[in-house]
Amino acid sequence: MELSESVQRGLRTLANASVFDGTSFQALVDVSFWSLLSRQGDPAVLDQPELKHIDQILVKRAHTAAATFILEAVKHNADSSTLSSCLEELSFSAERTEIINGIYQTHKKELDSLLASIGRCPPRVNDVSWRLQYHMKNGHVDKVNEPFYSISLSTENEGALEDIDFTCTVEQLQDLVGKLKDAAKSVEKASQM
Amino acid sequence: MEEVDRILIHTLKQTGTQVSEEIDSVKQFSSELIVEAVVRCIRVIDPGLGSTLPTSIPPGMSARFRVGMSLAQACQDIGYKGEIGYQTFLYSNEPEIRSLLMFLVEKLPRECAEASDQPTGKLVVLQRLITAAIKAQLSVPWLPSNCRLPLHGETKSSAALHSFRVQPLSLPHYTKGAGKMQLKGGFPPVKDYQQDILPPVTAQPSSHASVVASILEQHTAELTAAQEWENEWNSQGLLSRLTPQDYCSRKLSRLRKRIQEQLRSAALASSESANGCHYSTPDLSELLQTFKSPAPPDIILTKGTHFTHTQKYTFTRDVVAVTSPISAGHQLESDTQDHQQVLTCFQQQAQQLSSDVDQLIIDMKNMSVTHTQVLHELKQREQGNSEKEEKMQLKKKTISLMPDADKNLLQLQLLVEASVKRVVNLASQWEKHRAPLIDEHRRLKELCSNQDLESSRKLLEIKSLHDKIRVSTEETKKKEEIYKQLVTELENLPQDATRSAYTLRILEIVSNIKKQKEEITKILSDTKQLQKEINSLTGKLDRTFAVTDEMVFKDAKKDESVRKSYKYLAALHENCNQLIQTIEDTGTILREIRDLEEQIETENDNKTVSNLEKILDDYKDIRQENSALAAKVREG
């Protein structure tokens, strides 16, 4: 896990017991997690009574660094040992490392889902219903006599249900099934590397 | 043999052979399994050779025969010395198969084992993680959608997704070095802003969804910028022998110049080509102005048109900016007309005022120019005045000296001579001073060049040191990663492969063999001793017989009874000889019997009967196939 110069400096400030004493350290760490996890950005998030006596620029720097550090750790899926070694390098005391680690572990799931919510996801297929139909004739041709499938995929995207309906001939259906089998096989192959 | 079989089966499984769990010795191998195992081993040993071989036995008998033949050929190609043929695979017997498999397993390249020892990069680790994640997801059983519980970790389907949208963040930056500190001190408003107004980063982006993306992006940008700078500084910056700040400022000015030139040429071209397009030129010249870093204010003043233009531009924009919220607010109250009028009135006033200001500025400029001109003239006049006064004083002096001309002339000559002497004196003194100074100068120059050399040498050293540091840090990182990986691998390793148990077993076997060897040597020596005894006894017998024979033979000529006894003696000897012979014969026969029994046992082991039956069946199959083919040919 690489950290940039400014983040490292901010974290060192945070680790410095002469700048952030016990209560203000706890308050800042809490605020950093909370500000990332809360639904809306609150400009007054740093107006905590515990942080009043510290230079606001230092507080803001430390807050930025802590938020960046947390996000990077989640991005790398860092476990507690990696986190601790990283914090120790930045001259955090064992007690403070423990505090950060504890809060990190309790919020890891939420942070994971926060990061996972960035991006796009195709709708997932929940179910499928099908019907085999027979096309006998139409306005132009008297004798068509072809079977065709009408398929309805019930999909789910971001919690919203949606049906995708289409019809296809037997060959097209076979093609689709072949493609699906291919996909399943490639996923299996990817899991056996 | 169990140990060997287990090792063999383990290795075969590694090559990809599907050995089921129940099979734990070579005895239980079916011929299909044997063929598959052998083919997979050959494929690993020699991919070119193995790719043509099928892993499964075809149903047709003749095809089976052919597969067996080709497999035997392939094994011989690899270097198998033992007896091998199609029968080895189709009508298997245990020891042959075991020896063949052992040979193949020994031939297997060790690369697979070595490959895992090689350092794996980040990419491989990531890929492994991905693989593990996919595996875990695949192992989760499928559930109908209405049976799915939220605790199944279906975060993706429930939470709303945001695209990766980034907004620039403003951070309270760190000051670098003392020089910039002063600069910061000169801008207390910036500090105040950062202290009091600047919102925390998590509140800066307009929508909260882009907070995470923005922070990550900012961090990555910083990291990459630092890396880029590191690279550049190591490759070019160090060689330029400047401090980092100087290097940066020089590069900045160079870049500015280049951009300026480019823009200027582009602006010229566009203004020449398109006269109708008025807007581009002033905008570009504005840009140029901003690029002139600390531009002195005079330059802007002299280019009056540009200045007024920019002023007007910013002014009107300000007006618009100020009025737009007001108008927006009043639109809601639907009495916009009045305010529009007031607004236009104000705008007109503003424009009037601005044009007035322009006019006044131009006037001021003119005035200042005339002012400086007048000042200049005044100075010139004063100078002329002082010169004339000096001339006048000189003339006054000469006039006062005129009455006593001769004496004064002499005095003047003396003065001139004295001054000439003084000049000569001074020149010699100067020479005296000059020589050491020149020497000093030369010395210093030399010193300078020496120092130059030294510094370049040191630069090179520094560079090499930098490289070394980089290389070693990379190495340590790599090694740490390898260590971590190996530790995890060790944890993941199945605990059944106990090396020490194997070595213990091997040691036991070796000691057993030693004991057996000792016993064998003991038996051998016993046998030798026996042989010796037998030999000595036979020798003794022969000798006693010869002596007795002679003695009895001598007496036999004289006495009839002795002759009889001689005959008996001969008969006795002959009979005894025969007896010994028979005993020896029985011994050899017994040995032969034992050999034959052993042979029968091995033959029994070879499943000869069943194999023969199989061969008979297969022979029937082939005949049937042949007859079927013949019938087809006839039909065809």
Tell me whether residues A117 and B226 touch, CB distance under 8 A. Answer: no
Go through B123-142 and write b for each residue having 16 or more CB atoms within 10 A of its CB, e for each that does not. Answer: eeeeeeeeeeebeeeeeeee
Q: Which of B128, B164, B200 sits opposite A46 (nearest CB)?
A: B200
Q: Is the CB of residue B53 less than 8 Å from the CB of residue B71? A: yes
Residue-wise pLDDT for B547-565, tens only, equals: 888 888 887 777 788 888 8
Residue for token digits 């140029």? B288
* Sign of the four-CA dihedral A96, A100, A103, A105: negative
Tell me whether residues B219 and A43 touch, CB distance under 8 A. Answer: no
Residue-wise pLDDT for B146-178, tens only, equals: 776 655 545 444 456 777 888 888 877 665 443
- Number of neighbours of residue A35 by Cβ within 10 angstroms: 22
Residues of B in contact with A1 (CB under 8 A): none
Tell me whether residues B135 and A71 touch, CB distance under 8 A. Answer: no
User: Is residue B7 within a helix (H) or strand (E), and if so which, with residue range?
Assistant: helix B2-14
Whether residue A174 has pLDDT greater than 80: yes
Residues A135, A9: Cα–Cα separation, whole Å = 73
Distance, first Cα to last Cα, chain A = 25
Residues B47, B109: Cα–Cα separation, whole Å = 12
Q: Which of B128, B161, B226 sits opposite A4 (nearest CB)?
A: B226
Residues of B in contact with A187 (CB under 8 A): 134, 138
Q: Which of B131, B172, B201 sits opposite A57 (nearest CB)?
A: B172
Residue for token digits 């497999």? B71
Residue A161 gets the label, from left (phi > 0), alpha (psi -120 to 50) or beta, of beta
Nearest to A61 by CA among B118, B195, B519, B50: B195
Residue in chain B nearest A41 by alpha carbon = B203
The reported pLDDT for the residue numbered B250 is 87
Residue-wise pLDDT for B202-249, tens only, equals: 888 877 778 888 888 988 998 999 888 888 887 777 777 777 788 888
**Could you give the maximum distance between any two Cα atoms of chain B, in Å?**
204
User: The tokens of A164 are what?
Assistant: 């995708």
Nearest to A20 by CA among A93, A120, A106, A104: A93
What is the percentage of chain A residues whose pLDDT exceeds 70? 99
The reported pLDDT for the residue numbered B299 is 40
Residues of B in contact with A43 (CB under 8 A): 199-200, 203
Tell me whether residues B202 and A40 touch, CB distance under 8 A. Answer: no
User: Which of B49-58, B420-429, B433-442, B518-527 shows the lowest mean pLDDT across its residues?
Assistant: B49-58
Q: Which of B128, B157, B201 sits opposite A156 (nearest CB)?
A: B157
Tell me whether residues B211 and A64 touch, CB distance under 8 A. Answer: no
Tell me whether residues B156 and A55 touch, CB distance under 8 A. Answer: no
User: The tokens of A72 are what?
Assistant: 């990077």
What is the percentage of chain B residues whose pLDDT exceeds 90? 31
Spell out the domain ranges in chain A: 5-116, 124-190
Q: Identify which of A100-114, A133-147, B299-313, B438-452 has the greatest average pLDDT.
A: B438-452
Residues of B in contact with A190 (CB under 8 A): 130-131, 134
Go through B346-366 and write b for each residue having 16 or more CB atoms within 10 A of its CB, e for each that does not. Answer: eeeeeeeebeeebeeeeeeee
Residue in chain B nearest A38 by alpha carbon = B208
In the predicted model, what is the mean pLDDT of residues B401-429?
A: 90
Q: Identify which of B90-99, B100-109, B521-530 has the greatest average pLDDT.
A: B521-530
Tell me whether residues A159 and B157 touch, CB distance under 8 A. Answer: yes
User: Of B510 and A79, which is predicted with more confidence?
Assistant: B510
Residues B233, B227: Cα–Cα separation, whole Å = 10
Sheet with A124-135, strands from edge to edge, namely A124-135, A146-157, A160-168
Q: Which of B163, B203, B212 sits opposite A43 (nearest CB)?
A: B203
Helices B61-78/B31-45 angle, 10° precision: 40
User: The tokens of B50 are what?
Assistant: 């193995």
Whether residue A80 has pLDDT greater than 60: yes
Residue B227 gets the label, from left (phi > 0), alpha (psi -120 to 50) or beta, of alpha
Residue in chain A nearest B211 by alpha carbon = A36
Residues B422, A132: Cα–Cα separation, whole Å = 129
Q: What letter represents residue B186's amino acid? A: G
Q: What letter represents residue B361's amino acid? A: I
Residues of B in contact with A42 (CB under 8 A): 202-203
Cα three-residue angle A188-B497-B487, rounded to 5 degrees: 70
Residue A161, min C-alpha distance to chain B (Å) = 11
Whether residue A114 has pLDDT greater than 60: yes
Tell me whether residues B203 and A36 touch, CB distance under 8 A. Answer: no
Whether residue B626 has pLDDT greater than 80: yes
Residue B95, min C-alpha distance to chain A (Å) = 35
User: The tokens of B560 are what?
Assistant: 């009839």
Split at pLDDT 50, 70, 90, the class of B271 is low
Which site among A70, A153, A158 would you substitute to test the B interface, given the most B Cβ atoms closer than 10 Å to its Cβ?
A: A158
Residues B9, B41: Cα–Cα separation, whole Å = 12
Say how many CA atoms lie within 13 Å of B368 toward its Cβ.
Answer: 9
> How many Å separate Cα B121 from the centre of its chain?
5
Split at pLDDT 50, 70, 90, the class of B101 is confident
Tell me whether residues A36 and B161 touch, CB distance under 8 A. Answer: no
Residue A8, min C-alpha distance to chain B (Å) = 11
Residues of A in contact with B135 (CB under 8 A): 191-192
Residue B199, min C-alpha distance to chain A (Å) = 5
User: The tokens of B44 are what?
Assistant: 């690993």
Residue-wise pLDDT for B295-317, tens only, equals: 444 444 434 444 444 444 444 44
Task: Kindly give, in sequence order, each residue whose CB lies less than 8 Å from that of residue B192, ignoring residues fewer than 6 positions away.
Answer: none
Q: What letter represents residue B470's amino acid? A: R
CB contacts under 8 A, B 538-567 vs A, are none
Q: Is the CB of residue A63 less than 8 Å from the CB of residue B200? A: yes
Split at pLDDT 50, 70, 90, the class of B472 is very high
Q: Is the CB of residue A100 less than 8 Å from the CB of residue B142? A: no
Residues B313, B318: Cα–Cα separation, whole Å = 9
B518 SS3 class = helix
Residues of B in contact with A60 (CB under 8 A): 171-172, 194, 198, 200-201
What is the rounded average pLDDT for all residues in chain B? 80
What is the percentage of chain B residues whose pLDDT exceeds 70? 82
* Sign of the four-CA dihedral B340, B343, B347, B348: positive
User: The tokens of B540 are what?
Assistant: 């003794």
User: Is residue B333 within a helix (H) or strand (E), and if so which, with residue range?
Assistant: helix B304-333
Residue-wise pLDDT for B314-370, tens only, equals: 444 444 444 444 444 444 455 678 888 889 999 999 999 999 999 999 999 999 999
Give DSSP secondary structure letters for B24-48. Answer: -SGGG--HHHHHHHHHHHHHHH-HH
Nearest to A114 by CA among A34, A12, A180, A21: A34
Residue-wise pLDDT for B570-600, tens only, equals: 898 899 889 999 999 999 999 999 999 999 8
User: The tokens of B13 are what?
Assistant: 């499984």
CB contacts under 8 A, B 230-259 vs A, are none
Q: Which of B138, B156, B218 sits opposite A191 (nearest CB)?
A: B138
The reported pLDDT for the residue numbered B296 is 41
Residues of B in contact with A54 (CB under 8 A): none
Residues B43, B47: Cα–Cα separation, whole Å = 4
Q: Is the CB of residue A164 less than 8 Å from the CB of residue A155? A: yes
Task: State the virtual CA torsion across A77, A80, A86, A90 in degrees, nearest 10.
Answer: 130
Tell me whether residues A43 and B222 touch, CB distance under 8 A. Answer: no
In the predicted model, what is the mean pLDDT of residues B423-449?
A: 94
Whether residue B494 has pLDDT greater than 80: no
Split at pLDDT 50, 70, 90, the class of B495 is low
Residue for token digits 């003194």? B429
Task: Kindly give, in sequence order, each residue whose CB lies less than 8 Å from that of residue B219, ignoring residues fewer than 6 positions away.
Answer: A3, A4, A7, A68, A71, A72
> How many Å separate Cα B496 from the centre of its chain?
33
The reported pLDDT for the residue numbered B527 is 95
Residues of A in contact with B201 (CB under 8 A): 60, 63-64, 67
What is the rounded average pLDDT for all residues in chain A? 86
Residue-wise pLDDT for A43-54, tens only, equals: 777 777 777 888
Split at pLDDT 50, 70, 90, the class of B282 is low
Residue in chain A nearest B130 by alpha carbon = A191
In angstroms, the Cα distances linking B298 to A39, B285, B303, B307, B344 are 53, 16, 9, 11, 34
Residue B494 gets the label, from left (phi > 0), alpha (psi -120 to 50) or beta, of beta
- Number of neighbours of residue A154 by Cβ within 10 angstroms: 16
The reported pLDDT for the residue numbered B473 is 93
CB pairs A-B closer than 8 Å: 141
Residues B439, B429: Cα–Cα separation, whole Å = 16
Nearest to B39 by CA among B72, B64, B83: B72
Pairing assessment for the beta strands A124-135 and A160-168 based on DSSP bridges: unpaired
The reported pLDDT for the residue numbered B389 is 95
Split at pLDDT 50, 70, 90, the class of A117 is confident
Residues of A in contact with B224 (CB under 8 A): none
Residue-wise pLDDT for A13-39, tens only, equals: 888 888 888 888 888 888 888 888 887
Nearest to B280 by CA among B291, B290, B289, B269: B269
> How many Å separate Cα B527 from the centre of its chain?
70
In angstroms, the Cα distances linking B354 to B155, B223, B289, B362, B528 are 61, 48, 21, 12, 134
In the predicted model, what is the mean pLDDT of residues B26-31?
A: 79
Residue for token digits 């491989």? B124
Split at pLDDT 50, 70, 90, the class of B292 is low
User: The tokens of B19 are what?
Assistant: 């050995």
Residues of A in contact with B208 (CB under 8 A): 38-41
Tell me whether residues A35 and B171 touch, CB distance under 8 A. Answer: no
* ipTM confidence score: 0.81
Residue-wise pLDDT for B532-542, tens only, equals: 999 999 899 88
Residues of B in contact with A29 (CB under 8 A): none
User: Which of A56-70, B174-188, B235-249, B420-434 shows the lowest mean pLDDT across its residues?
Assistant: B174-188
Give DSSP secondary structure letters for B206-221. Answer: SSTTHHHHHHHHHHHH
Residue-wise pLDDT for A118-169, tens only, equals: 887 788 888 899 999 998 998 998 898 889 999 999 888 777 788 999 999 9
- Architecture of the domain defined by B2-117: Orthogonal Bundle (1.10)
Residue A190, min C-alpha distance to chain B (Å) = 6
Residues B154, B148: Cα–Cα separation, whole Å = 9
